[in-house]
Each structure stands twice: as structure tokens, then as C-alpha cells.
Amino acid sequence: MNRRDIAGKVTPDELREITQALVRTPSLNPPGDVRECADVLAGILQKEGIPVEKVVVTDNLINVVATLEGQGPGKTMWFNGHMDVVPVGPDWTKDPWGGEFSDGKIYGRGASDMKGGLASMMGSMIALKRAGCPFNGKILFTAVADEETGSDAGTVWLIENRKLTADYAIVSEPTNGFVEIGHRGTLWLEATFKGRSCHASRPHVGVNAVHYAGKAIVALMNMELTARQEIFEVPTGCVSVTVVGGGTKLNVIPNRCTIGIDRRMLPIETVEDATEQIRRTIAGVVDEGASFELRQVKAWPPVMEEENHILVRTLKSAFEEVKGVKPQVRGKAGATDASFIKGMAGVPIVLYGPGPSKVAHTADEYVELDELVSASHMYTMTTLDLLS
């Protein structure tokens, strides 16, 4: 049996049905309840005779770990994706949990980010299983619970508690038809400004923490970020103040104000340097009795794989074989679990997944059936080539 025949052992209709089954099972995060989705996903693999374990982290947060053993010992290919989806939001014209199929697209929350990617990976495992697992080594598949809120109960938990590792990893977040060799990092910081309350009729007696937060916001807006890496979809870092909270009453000078800061970093930047730069920027505007504290909420370090790494080269040639054109390679704007798979577990990574990334987290999110099929075939061919 050749590689194409093996890849074709799962049909487009089956891939559509798997995606629809996952989309029709809400797995909202927040609050983070993926129980039903984990059951449906595990059931589909079990029906094919693929061994599945449900790893319960909390009552609601369950990771599905499946393993497909080849015919002999060898390397490990790690397929990773997340089951959780962000809240629905306004402006939908389709049922967000309907999994409607029209014009070659499956609609619903999570169709693109990233139940389509999970379905393509499951399809690849099903095809390989039906073909008799004609490879050496194994495929490790993790469908994780809480990527959208930081992965502490998902991929990070599995790496820390199950010591998961592999020789290669593919993350099936939507990549919009690109082969992505990494992503920018994300740094979440919280700055709390401390002043002194007083009556608003005599503001000069107090220290207005909201005013200092305002000065800091302007300074952060004007921060110059000069680092550039052209391979990234967004080739520079960026910083945004995304949350503000302060004050207790209209006629009280506030003694506290907190701002949330989202900083995106290129691989040539570090979490430490980015934090220090923000600290200096804020310190430059805080004086006269006010003070501030800067706290790291969460960090996803940036990652980038070598473009000539065998994993990247193999996926690129599978892309060309399936699609008939050479892929464009780039770096993703947003962070993914690849940050932890490479950063914590030291596994080489590449990102490729069906679906336009621009519809992720939006109304009428969709994934194209053609893309589900080609991604599934690419995963199968890449696995067969690397685990030969």
C-alpha cells in the first residue's frame, strides 16, 4: 500500500462527521468544562480500537491521551491540539453548536480553533490504524483541556506530571495554509499603582493612582519596539494595555489602580528583557509619592524551529505532495502550546492545521472540508516518512 492509499483510509465524509461531532459538543473555556467533548473524542478513537486514556486533572478538565503503536520500536511523533473553545459572543448567523455544513465549510465555535485540527489528527490516526500501523515507533496524541486559559491543566500539566516527550511534534492550530515554524511569545503582566486617597475636593492632599496608571498607559503606547523578524506574520513585538481597574467612588481620589499588559515577543526577544523594558517605562512616569508593583501573570516564551529541521522539511514535502504547490513558511502571530512542547519538553515543533486563523474567536467561525482532508493526509505522510 502506498502512502496516498494509507492516507485515504479515512474518507472526507468521516472527517466531516468527526469535526461536526466535536463542534456539536460545547467545551467552553471559561468556565473550562470539556467533559462531554473528551467523551465524544475518546469514543471515536476507541471505536477504531485505538487505546485512549482520559487523564482527569480536575472534575471538568480532562485531557485525552491516545497512543498508536507501530510495528516495531522507533521514534515518537506527538500530535497535539486543544478541545476547549472561547465563548460564543455576538453576531452569529449560524448555530454556534450546530456544525452546519454548507458550501464546503463546517460552521461552529471551535471549527477552526481547533476542533478541525483535532479531527484531522484523529483522521490520520484512524487511517494509519486501518492500514495496520505500517510504521516504527508510535504516535502520541494529546487532546488537551485548557489551552485558551494558559494550559496549566492541559499540555503543561501533561509535560510536568506525565513527563511526556517525543522526537517530533505537530501542533494543529489553524495556520491558514502556511507551514508555521514557530510563534511569537506572549507575556501577561499586571501593574498595580499605589497612591493615597483623599476627598476629591482637595486632590492635592492625596496621590491619584488612576492618574499614574494613565501616564503609564501613554508611555507604554509610545514604547519603541525595534526588533524585527520578517518571517513572522507580524514581524515585530507589540504591547497593549488590555485591562484597567481602579477607583472606588466618583468623589474619592483613588489609592489603587491596576492595569493588565499584553506584550508579544519575537524569538530574538526574551521574557526577562521584555519585562524589564516595561518596568523601566513605567518607572519613568511614576514619582511624587506614588509607587507601583509589576507582577507576571503568565508567559508563553516565543519558539522557532530551524527551517531546515527534518520535521519541517518533511511536512513541507508532504504539503507539496498533497496540494501540488510549495508551501509558504512563516511564524505565527499568537502563542500556542508549542511554546511548552519545545520550551519545557525540548521537542522539535512545527505548526500546521486546517482552517483560516482569521476566523478563530469570531462569529460564524468555520473550517473548510478540503483543508481537513489535506491536513489529515499531510499528518499521515509526515508520520510515515519520519517513523519509517
- List of residues contacting Zn ion (CB under 5 A): 113-114, 173
CB-CB contact of 176 with 356 (8 Å):
yes
Taking the complex as a whole, the smallest distance from the CB of residue 27 to Zn ion amounts, in Å, to 12
Scan for cell 502556511, then name that residue: 178
Judged by CB, which is closer to Zn ion: 32, or 214? 32
CB-CB contact of 192 with 256 (8 Å):
yes
Taking the complex as a whole, the smallest distance from the CB of residue 14 to Zn ion amounts, in Å, to 23
Taking the complex as a whole, the smallest distance from the CB of residue 110 to Zn ion amounts, in Å, to 9
Judged by CB, which is closer to Zn ion: 309, or 361? 361
Helices assigned H by DSSP within the chain: 3-7, 12-23, 35-47, 116-130, 155-162, 209-221, 271-283, 310-323, 338-343, 369-386
Taking the complex as a whole, the smallest distance from the CB of residue 85 to Zn ion amounts, in Å, to 8
Beta pairing partners, 162: none
CB-CB contact of 378 with 339 (8 Å):
no
Taking the complex as a whole, the smallest distance from the CB of residue 282 to Zn ion amounts, in Å, to 31
Pairing of strands 329-332, 179-183: parallel
Judged by CB, which is closer to Zn ion: 173, or 371? 173
Judged by CB, which is closer to Zn ion: 80, or 277? 80
Taking the complex as a whole, the smallest distance from the CB of residue 340 to Zn ion amounts, in Å, to 13
Taking the complex as a whole, the smallest distance from the CB of residue 383 to Zn ion amounts, in Å, to 22
Taking the complex as a whole, the smallest distance from the CB of residue 48 to Zn ion amounts, in Å, to 25
- Distance, in Å, from the CA atom of 290 to the CA atom of 253, rounded to the nearest integer, reads 13
- Distance, in Å, from the CA atom of 265 to the CA atom of 239, rounded to the nearest integer, reads 9
Taking the complex as a whole, the smallest distance from the CB of residue 173 to Zn ion amounts, in Å, to 5
Judged by CB, which is closer to Zn ion: 113, or 269? 113
Return the SS3 of 299: strand
Judged by CB, which is closer to Zn ion: 10, or 114? 114
Judged by CB, which is closer to Zn ion: 113, or 368? 113
Strand ranges, E, within 25-183: 52-56, 62-69, 72-82, 101-102, 105-107, 136-144, 168-171, 179-183
Helices assigned H by DSSP within 243-356: 271-283, 310-323, 338-343
* Of 86, 49, 88, the residue nearest 66 (C-alpha): 49
How would you class 339 by CB atoms within 10 Å of its CB: exposed for 0-12, middle for 13-18, buried for 19 or more?
buried
Q: How far is CA 138 from CA 42, 163, 168, in A?
A: 18, 16, 11
Judged by CB, which is closer to Zn ion: 99, or 154? 154
Name the amino acid, one letter, at 386.
L
Judged by CB, which is closer to Zn ion: 131, or 341? 341
Judged by CB, which is closer to Zn ion: 113, or 180? 113
Taking the complex as a whole, the smallest distance from the CB of residue 291 to Zn ion amounts, in Å, to 38
Q: How far is CA 353 from CA 108, 159, 198, 250, 379, in A?
A: 17, 22, 55, 50, 10
Q: What are phi and psi of 308, to 5 degrees?
A: -100, 15
